[in-house]
Amino acid sequence: MKLLIIGSGGREHAIAKKLLASTKVRAVFCAKGNVGMKKDGIQLVDISEEDHGALISFAQQNKIDWTFVGPEIPLLNGIVDDFQAAGLKIFGPNKAAACIEGSKEFAKKLMEDNDIPTADYEVFTDYQAACAYVKEKGAPIVIKADGLAAGKGVTVALTLAEALQALTEMMANHRFGKSGDKVVVEEFLSGEEFSLLAFVNREKVYPMVVAQDHKRAYDEDLGPNTGGMGAYSPVPQISTEMVESAVEKILKPAAAGMVKNQTPFTGILYAGLIATANGPKVIEFNARFGDPETQVVLPRLTSDLAQIIADLLNDQDPELIWSDQAAVGVVLAAEGYPGDYQKGLAVPKFGDQATILYAGVVDDDQGVMRSSGGRVLLAAAEAATIAEAQKQVYQALTQADTTGYFYRKDIGAKAQK
């Protein structure tokens, strides 16, 4: 098989690498990918993920068997619809189904209609009405911009003042542009977070092993929200019953609800969950693999990812086998991220204790790899236990020259408590 991956981050590096490990796969192209992927034999294609026409031509000219979409933006732009209209195979939800991620209001309605446990909420387009509601409910309370805001459109307000300020920024000052014209105000859920992803083909759901992301920039979950600073899998403090309940009460009804809605979902469904005292509740759905969860979930997949996706595209049941190994991944970010940060930093070299999955990197004029984004790479290790995997990954990071960068020192710490 010859495959095309859309996207350019650490998640796509992990997906492409896993696909290339299949004996059935001859070549994996990534558009645009990043230069760090080349060491693993992934071929870069210099076409923007927004240029569906050029991507379709590339897939046709290169006889690509099927395409896999990493990020949400092309999904929401209808890349799946466009490839299918051109008679090409592509794995991911179409534009209508991707709304499960693209519109919080759509997701909330799906949950309401299908009795899927989530936080109570109200949707507002009127600033004054939103303020009045927040004053009535009090803090802690959660304020979310309805559209996509690159993970930064959520404020978990511990005080009423913070909540009102968030509404002012989103609705009056338009900090997130149009995404903030409609705001969801949500009940605060208390409990540990975990991510449960599944391969979905219409009403059929094939769950993956769970992972835990670390969204805040600094140790002990302090500092601003980021795109994710590290992840690990398994998550031993989340019970098997909690996970089973999430599959039965959340993933399966969500997939069935999408079919009933006439927006059937085929692709990767990601549930961001909180393990509350009353069972799992949904914080958000995503229509794609999570970043950085993918970088620790896929290494634990022992069956063939290319075969799984080929099976799903052919309406067959795939075989999913998972290893008992633990995986821990730590993101190396430029100092200052998620605020202002420097680009063009030298990219550290690593020994072989850790697997390196690259994200924000480019080659300079001399062909030397330099940072080009906030999250530059993720170092991952696999071992028999989380503690052992942590030890390996932190050893690799300590031994590298990480001047100009920072990383969290506590990835996986909650599993040890």
Residues in touch with ligand GLY (CB under 6 A): 213, 228, 286, 290-291, 293
The site partner of 156 among ligand GLY, ligand AMP, none (C-beta below 5 to 8 Å per kind) is ligand AMP
Q: What is the nearest approach in angstroms of ligand GLY to the Cβ of residue 280?
A: 17
How far is residue 107's CA from residue 263's CA, in Å, rounded to a whole number?
A: 12
The site partner of 228 among ligand GLY, ligand AMP, none (C-beta below 5 to 8 Å per kind) is ligand GLY
Contacts (Cβ under 8 Å, ≥6 apart) of 204: 255, 317
Query: Applying CB under 6 A, does 72 fall inside the site for ligand AMP?
Result: no
357 CB-side CA count, 13 A: 29
Q: Which is nearer to ligand GLY, 292 or 348 (CB)?
A: 292
**Pairing label, strands 369-371, 43-45:** unpaired
129 to 188, contacts with ligand AMP by CB under 6 A? 142, 151, 154, 156, 186-188
Q: Which is nearer to ligand GLY, 96 or 271 (CB)?
A: 271
**Pairing label, strands 279-286, 121-124:** unpaired
The site partner of 291 among ligand AMP, ligand GLY, none (C-beta below 5 to 8 Å per kind) is ligand GLY
The site partner of 127 among ligand GLY, ligand AMP, none (C-beta below 5 to 8 Å per kind) is none
Query: Applying CB under 6 A, does 81 fall inside the site for ligand AMP?
Result: no
Q: Which is nearer to ligand GLY, 212 or 266 (CB)?
A: 212
How far is residue 72's CA from residue 47's CA, in Å, rounded to a whole number?
A: 17
SS3 159: coil
User: How many Cβ atoms sit within 10 Å of the Cβ of residue 238?
Assistant: 23
Q: Which is nearer to ligand AMP, 189 or 376 (CB)?
A: 189
Among 122, 284, 311, 363, binds ligand AMP (CB under 6 A): 284
Contacts (Cβ under 8 Å, ≥6 apart) of 340: none
How far is residue 288's CA from residue 271's CA, in Å, rounded to a whole number?
A: 10
Q: Which is nearer to ligand AMP, 168 or 276 (CB)?
A: 276
The site partner of 300 among ligand GLY, ligand AMP, none (C-beta below 5 to 8 Å per kind) is none
322 CB-side CA count, 13 A: 15
The site partner of 183 among ligand AMP, ligand GLY, none (C-beta below 5 to 8 Å per kind) is none
DSSP labels, 160-216:
HHHHHHHHIIIIIS-TTGGGGSSEEEEEPP-SEEEEEEEEEETTEEEE---BEE--E
Among 131, 171, 189, 400, binds ligand AMP (CB under 6 A): 189
How far is residue 108's CA from residue 330's CA, in Å, rounded to a whole number?
A: 32
Contact residues for ligand AMP, defined by CB under 6 A? 119, 142, 151, 154, 156, 186-189, 193, 215, 225, 272, 283-284
